[in-house]
Homo-oligomer: A and B are copies of this chain.
Amino acid sequence: MITNYDVFVPALMGSGASLRVGMKARALGCRKVLVVHDQGLKDVGIADIIIENIQAAGIETVVFGNVLADPPDILVEEVAELARNEKIDGIVAVGGGSSIDTAKGVNTLINNPPPILQYFGYRTDLKPGVPMIFIPTTSGTGSEVTNMAVISCTSRGNKDSVMGPHCLGTLALIDPDLTLGLPAKMTAATGIDALAHAVECMTGGQVNPLSDALAKEAIRDIVKWLPIAYKDGSNLEAREKMINASMFAGMAFSNALVHLGHSIGHSLGATFHIPHGLACALVLPEVIEYSAKSEWKNVAMICECFGEKVQEDATWEEIGALANKLLREFIKSVDIPNMKELGFDLEKVIAIAPMVTGDAGFAIAPYRITAAKVASMLQAAFDA
């Protein structure tokens, strides 16, 4: 097998890294940058700190501060028009996945005409945009180091992705200080999203040694540090380990992609309107158990990253069952609710199975399965 190691974003990692933003934007030759964030970051004061830092470096700012979750295409197109009219020469996105993905969508349209839906999928033929600096404020999405952005397509009523060099950041500033105020619930949900990236990219059809190495490191750190960050959000060491693990998981799935767990998560999210990290957690244990049929070696490795020794003569069913148990217990330990606790209706849950098989990530699943099998996994997760 020949495999690619090719998605890399330079990063500056550590407490205080975000305060280099003005200096770094100036080093990239920027004179007028678009700053993209959501209202929440304004409320907690982080947006202003970043904007002032950029201005202090002698760079003009144009601010879009109304990012929406699951960024809709029409909003992306509107911000891109603002960016073009203002003749910005750089973008700084600060926030969670939605802010960073909005920036990537805008960058796609800087030198390519709208609408954005014509650019869905992996494209290398688009005109490049401007330098982008990404500053994540959650530890989950990994978007700061991936080459893809998830955009909601309003006309089709689904989510799709733009992917390619136009979505790669020029620099990521990974600053754990910015996550110190993240509420416990969001800490848990985004942390489990990072865990989902790591365990899915170790069990999909595109694993490679680099994604494996980074994903394993991410799992070990998440298992150790997420419960600590969840219980005590002010623990800087835990926050630093988590934001780094989230980035490693992002680097890993940039190279190896995620699969069925995210496909189910997307469908549950679209149907029940729950946050992405939570949606991806609900059936993750069953997805990894099913993966063990072909990917038992890596599923055993996942168990070992949880600190559990796997017997040499264990069958794939035993390995899968152990991984299911470990993941289920871990997800529960940070108080992620299950589908019953969320008040989901079983029939409606089962009904998403055909939608799952239409999701892009489904093709990366380690071996072909049917909607009926997906339905039985949904049932098992519901009963767990």
Contacts and interface: CB of A to CB of B under 8 A. Distances in A.
Contacts of A5: 10-13
B3 A14 contact: yes
A244 interface: yes
Interface of A: 1-6, 8, 10-17, 20, 208-210, 213-214, 216-217, 244, 248
A211 to B, nearest CB: 11
B13 A10 contact: no
Nearest to A240: B209
Tell me the dominant secondary structure on chain A's binding face: mixed
Contacts of A209: 13, 217, 244, 248
Contact of A10 (B8, B12, B14): B8
5 contacts: A2-B13, A5-B11, A6-B10, A13-B209, A209-B244
Contact of A2 (B1, B17, B248): B17
A146 to B, nearest CB: 14
Given A1-B14, A3-B14, 18 more contacts: A2-B12, A2-B13, A2-B14, A3-B13, A4-B11, A4-B13, A5-B10, A5-B11, A6-B10, A8-B8, A8-B10, A209-B217, A209-B244, A209-B248, A213-B213, A213-B214, A213-B248, A216-B217
A217 B208 CA distance: 13
A13 B213 contact: no
Contact of A13 (B11, B208, B216): B208
A115 to B, nearest CB: 30
Contacts of A213: 213-214, 217, 248
A94 B234 CA distance: 51
A256 B6 CA distance: 20
Contacts of A217: 209, 213, 216
